[in-house]
Amino acid sequence: MAPIINGRVLFNAMPEGFPEPGKATTYDVSQTIDLGADSCSSIDPYMRNHMKPASPMGGYILPFVLGELLSGHGVSMVICLEHEKVKVGEHLYGLLTHKHYMLKQDLKQLHILENPSNLPWSTFLGVLGMAGQTAYFGWREYSHAKKNEVIYVTTGAVSVGLVIQLAKINGLKVIASAGSEEKLGFMKEIGAEVVFNYKTTKVSNILVKEGPIDLFWDNVGGGAFEAAIEAASLNCHFIECSKISGYNGETQAQPKNLYLIKEKSISISGFVITQLLEKYKEEFYRILYPLVASGQIKHREAIYEGLEQVSDAILGVQKGTNKGKATVCVADA
Amino acid sequence: MAPIINGRVLFNAMPEGFPEPGKATTYDVSQTIDLGADSCSSIDPYMRNHMKPASPMGGYILPFVLGELLSGHGVSMVICLEHEKVKVGEHLYGLLTHKHYMLKQDLKQLHILENPSNLPWSTFLGVLGMAGQTAYFGWREYSHAKKNEVIYVTTGAVSVGLVIQLAKINGLKVIASAGSEEKLGFMKEIGAEVVFNYKTTKVSNILVKEGPIDLFWDNVGGGAFEAAIEAASLNCHFIECSKISGYNGETQAQPKNLYLIKEKSISISGFVITQLLEKYKEEFYRILYPLVASGQIKHREAIYEGLEQVSDAILGVQKGTNKGKATVCVADA
């Protein structure tokens, strides 16, 4: 194989608000490499968190290094590696950098994917990737859900699609919100009883009518958080996922009723999926892969072709304009 | 016994801000009764919560009825009752109304107090009452504390005094705040390593220096809540107690960093002690009574004499001007 351009995506500047393509992140073609294969990179809301200075208290989110590679969850095919644990042609899942080819010695943090039904590899970055794991692990560890309870789920992204479907499997009544009619349609399709557009409908009006709620799956915070506290039943559980509406410095409603957490005996769980990985990983693939392969669990993807699209995909995720889980796929022509 | 005035405290008007004595609550002497004994009434922050309209969502806090009796935790001596379960001279603890004498048939919710060391009955409304139970039950159920961890505790009231002492017994480093030098002195005396006045010192400055924190015992919310999120270590536990700083409509800082709950895997537990009563009640009296009687557990009380003082005691509790757990005691002359 002749040397080919090894396209990469670099972190170029700390964004003030939304991460502007070409400014916050740039696509770089200055390097070449000799190998070839297919790969997929997951584009996730949390990436915005790596585009700001580290917290003065230490913090667990390390900023991307300016001028260096972006990183995130990805799937890469093994092409020419001598390693006792993997074979050429196998696909590995884990935290990877955004470049076409990588030379890796240490495979400890990478997971060899099994794919007997030949699902697209992007699936392993969506409903079967970190997004799905967030929903599945959080559900299993923190939901304590009982049949006929009422859950309110914010945003219609893939992770949430799975939360709705897990809630329906467990016999809950589902109230779900999103920001586009197209997402509301998907949420109806996967079983949500009550769907509404948070841009045109006041959350608290819906929850007063359809609640009280026993479980709150929170992807946005702000006004929805306040409305959920107001509509919470005694011993309500809140599961805190990525709070995309606060990432880009947008004005966000700050809850004025936190004192009700005590009054209503509300429990709130934030979680980092890496801490739950060992506990649920095997179960996750064993239970979910066949449900996804058979179509019983539905999901939607927004596939971008080529690393040149990473910056646009990041912005789409932050603005919520994608119609499914955003993934950037690359394959040799 | 000749008929005597049966003084009572009535809920007179919904307060706009602080509950003004004589306006929000009034002392009424229009009734008489024939009996005589001693009693104590606990004055607690949560009473302010009963002085506002019920939540439109149902809610678990029923407002006091205008023109009717105040109620709260109290200790009353049995004086002339034929009942198979209690004897004359025994003291009962539980939710009682604020009047000198009560005729009660149903004693199910009342607890017969044992007091071999002849502690003042007011003690059973402070460190051995609801305030102490809040600290003890919350600590046992939610703290998950380990030796050498760091806890931040807000406010120096009695309930908090117990939290600090439980934390020290369990080998934690204690950071504690209060609003007066006198309270800071008490907190030092019971073992807190770092004490500061939240009125003159910025919470986050202290926590940046002395944290990160593994446990946050929150009695106030607002700015302290935001600072605690900022200073939280991974998997930090927050225990949400009464949020007195929000009760009276004061301007309260609203946390802008709730998205960190997810990032730092923070768990937050609000709780209602009635739900934990059966689980810990026996242990609470068995463990804590001898520690209090021997002076190993310290506490401070602010005793008011006579039901005429209830309105002032309520205001003192809301403004934080009491030097200990506020109790109103009444005894026949």
B223 vs B166: which has the higher pLDDT: B166
CB contact under 8 A, A270 and B247: no
- A240 → closest Cβ in B56, B247, B262: B262
Domain-wise residue ranges, chain A: 4-126+301-331, 130-274
What is the dihedral sign for C-alpha A232, A238, A244, A249?
positive
Instruction: Give which of B61, B66, B71 is closest to B41, Cα–Cα.
Output: B71
Task: Give the confidence band of A59 by pLDDT, cuts at 50, 70, 90.
Answer: low
Mean per-residue pLDDT, B244-248: 55
For residue A1, the model assigns a pLDDT of 32
Mean per-residue pLDDT, A305-310: 85
B255 CB neighbours in chain A (<8 A) are 254-255, 258
**CA-based max dimension of chain B:** 68
B74 vs A248: which has the higher pLDDT: B74
Superfamily of B130-274 according to CATH? NAD(P)-binding Rossmann-like Domain (3.40.50.720)
Q: What is the DSSP letter of B307?
A: G
Residue of A220, A259, A269, A272 best to disrupt the B interface, most CBs of B under 10 A = A259
Question: HSE of B113 in the Cβ direction (CA atoms, 13 Å)?
Answer: 26
Q: How far is B322 from chain A (nearest CA, A)?
A: 22
What are the C-alpha distances in Å from B257 to residues A229, A272, B101, B212?
A: 17, 16, 50, 16
Pairing of strands B111-112, B194-197: unpaired
Mean per-residue pLDDT, A103-127: 88
Mean per-residue pLDDT, B31-53: 76
CB contact under 8 A, B60 and A234: yes
Mean per-residue pLDDT, A5-19: 77
Distance from C-alpha of B96 to C-alpha of B307, rounded to nearest angstrom: 13
Least confident of A107-111, B76-80, B141-145, B275-279: B76-80
B235 CB neighbours in chain A (<8 A) are 275
A270 interfaces chain B, CB cutoff of 8 Å = yes
Q: Which long-range contacts (CB under 8 A, 24 or more apart) does B109-118 make?
A: B111/B281, B112/B85, B112/B86, B113/B75, B114/B285, B114/B289, B115/B91, B117/B289, B117/B293
What are the C-alpha distances in Å from A323 to residues A192, A306, A315, A316, B89?
A: 18, 18, 13, 10, 73
Tens of pLDDT, residue by residue over B197-239, are: 988 999 999 999 998 999 999 988 778 888 999 999 999 999 9
B303 interfaces chain A, CB cutoff of 8 Å = no
Which residues does A273 contact at the CB level (< 8 Å), separation at least 6? A130, A133, A134, A137, A138
Burial class (CB in 10 A: 0-12, 13-18, 19+), B82: exposed
For residue A58, the model assigns a pLDDT of 52
A30 interfaces chain B, CB cutoff of 8 Å = no
Specify whether the CB–CB gap between B148 and B171 falls below 8 A: yes
User: SS3 for B182?
Assistant: helix
For residue B139, the model assigns a pLDDT of 95
Distance from C-alpha of B203 to C-alpha of B205, rounded to nearest angstrom: 5
Mean per-residue pLDDT, B287-292: 96
CB contact under 8 A, A221 and B258: yes
Mean per-residue pLDDT, A114-122: 93
B306 vs A229: which has the higher pLDDT: A229
Q: How far is B5 from chain A (nearest CA, A)?
A: 36
Tens of pLDDT, residue by residue over B115-130, are: 999 999 999 999 999 8
Task: Give the confidence band of A2 by pLDDT, cuts at 50, 70, 90.
Answer: very low
User: SS3 for B271?
Assistant: coil
Specify whether the CB–CB gap between A215 and A143 falls below 8 A: yes
CB contact under 8 A, A61 and B263: yes
Task: Give the confidence band of B1 by pLDDT, cuts at 50, 70, 90.
Answer: very low
For residue A214, the model assigns a pLDDT of 97
- The interface predicted TM-score of the complex, written ipTM, equals 0.71
The kind and range of the H/E element at B72 are: strand B71-77
B58 interfaces chain A, CB cutoff of 8 Å = yes
Q: How far is B256 from chain A (nearest CA, A)?
A: 6
In chain B, pLDDT over 90 holds for what percent of residues? 39
User: For A283-321, b where at least 16 C-beta lie within 10 A, e where not — what string?
Assistant: ebbeebbebbbeeebbbbbbbbeebebbbbbbbbbbebe
Mean per-residue pLDDT, A255-282: 89
CB contact under 8 A, A265 and B272: yes
For residue A298, the model assigns a pLDDT of 92
For residue A266, the model assigns a pLDDT of 94
Q: What is the DSSP letter of B107?
A: -
Specify whether the CB–CB gap between B180 and B197 falls below 8 A: yes
User: SS3 for A108?
Assistant: coil
CB contact under 8 A, A259 and B242: yes
Instruction: Give which of A186, A191, A189 is closest to A169, Cα–Cα.
Output: A191
Residue of A240, A250, A256, A279 best to disrupt the B interface, most CBs of B under 10 A = A240
Q: How many CB atoms lie within 10 A of CB B135?
A: 29
What are the C-alpha distances in Å from B227 to residues A133, B221, B223, B254, B260?
A: 30, 10, 6, 11, 11
A241 CB neighbours in chain B (<8 A) are 262
Query: Identity (one letter) of the amino acid at A8?
Result: R
Pairing of strands A71-77, B71-77: unpaired
**CA-based max dimension of chain A:** 68
pLDDT greater than 80 at residue A297: yes
Mean per-residue pLDDT, B134-148: 94
Q: How far is B274 from chain A (nearest CA, A)?
A: 11
Task: Give the confidence band of B277 by pLDDT, cuts at 50, 70, 90.
Answer: very high
Task: Give the confidence band of A248 by pLDDT, cuts at 50, 70, 90.
Answer: low
A260 CB neighbours in chain B (<8 A) are 270
For residue B5, the model assigns a pLDDT of 67
Q: How far is A1 from chain B (nearest CA, A)?
A: 43
For residue B187, the model assigns a pLDDT of 93
Specify whether the CB–CB gap between A192 and A211 falls below 8 A: no
B81 vs B276: which has the higher pLDDT: B276
Q: Per CATH, which fold does B4-126+301-331 belong to?
A: Quinone Oxidoreductase; Chain A, domain 1 (3.90.180)
- B212 → closest Cβ in A57, A254, A271: A57
Q: Enter the pTM of the model.
A: 0.79
In chain B, pLDDT over 70 holds for what percent of residues? 88
Specify whether the CB–CB gap between B64 and B8 falls below 8 A: no
For residue B333, the model assigns a pLDDT of 41
Query: Identity (one letter) of the amino acid at B284?
Result: F
Mean per-residue pLDDT, A215-223: 87
User: For B201-223, b where at least 16 C-beta lie within 10 A, e where not — what string?
Assistant: eebbebbbebbbbbbbbbbbbbb
pLDDT greater than 70 at residue B43: yes
Strands (E), A88-197: 91-97, 111-112, 150-154, 173-178, 194-197
User: SS3 for B41?
Assistant: strand
Q: How far is A266 from chain B (nearest CA, A)?
A: 5
B18 interfaces chain A, CB cutoff of 8 Å = no
Residue of A51, A57, A134 best to disrupt the B interface, most CBs of B under 10 A = A57
Tens of pLDDT, residue by residue over B58-87, are: 556 778 888 888 888 888 888 766 677 788
For residue B4, the model assigns a pLDDT of 63
Which residues does B39 contact at the CB level (< 8 Å), separation at least 6? B74, B75, B76, B77, B96, B100, B329, B330, B331
Tens of pLDDT, residue by residue over A63-95, are: 888 888 888 888 888 876 667 778 878 889 998
For residue B215, the model assigns a pLDDT of 97
User: Token pair for residue B180?
Assistant: 């007066």
CA-based nearest residue in chain B for residue A233:
B59
CA-based nearest residue in chain A for residue B54:
A230
For residue B2, the model assigns a pLDDT of 43
A54 interfaces chain B, CB cutoff of 8 Å = no
For residue A33, the model assigns a pLDDT of 67
Specify whether the CB–CB gap between A242 and A45 falls below 8 A: yes
Q: Tokens 């924190």 — which residue?
A: B213
A254 interfaces chain B, CB cutoff of 8 Å = yes
For residue A138, the model assigns a pLDDT of 94
What is the dihedral sign for C-alpha A253, A212, B247, B238?
negative
A55 interfaces chain B, CB cutoff of 8 Å = yes
For residue B77, the model assigns a pLDDT of 82
Specify whether the CB–CB gap between B288 and B128 falls below 8 A: yes
B130-274 matches B4-126+301-331 in CATH topology: no
Q: How far is A199 from chain B (nearest CA, A)?
A: 20
Judged by CB atoms within 8 Å, which residues 206-235 of B form the interface with A? 207-208, 211-212, 221, 225, 230-231, 234-235
CB contact under 8 A, A247 and B259: yes
DSSP H helical ranges for chain B: 130-142, 158-169, 181-189, 203-210, 222-231, 260-263, 277-293, 310-319
For residue A333, the model assigns a pLDDT of 41
A146 vs A14: which has the higher pLDDT: A146
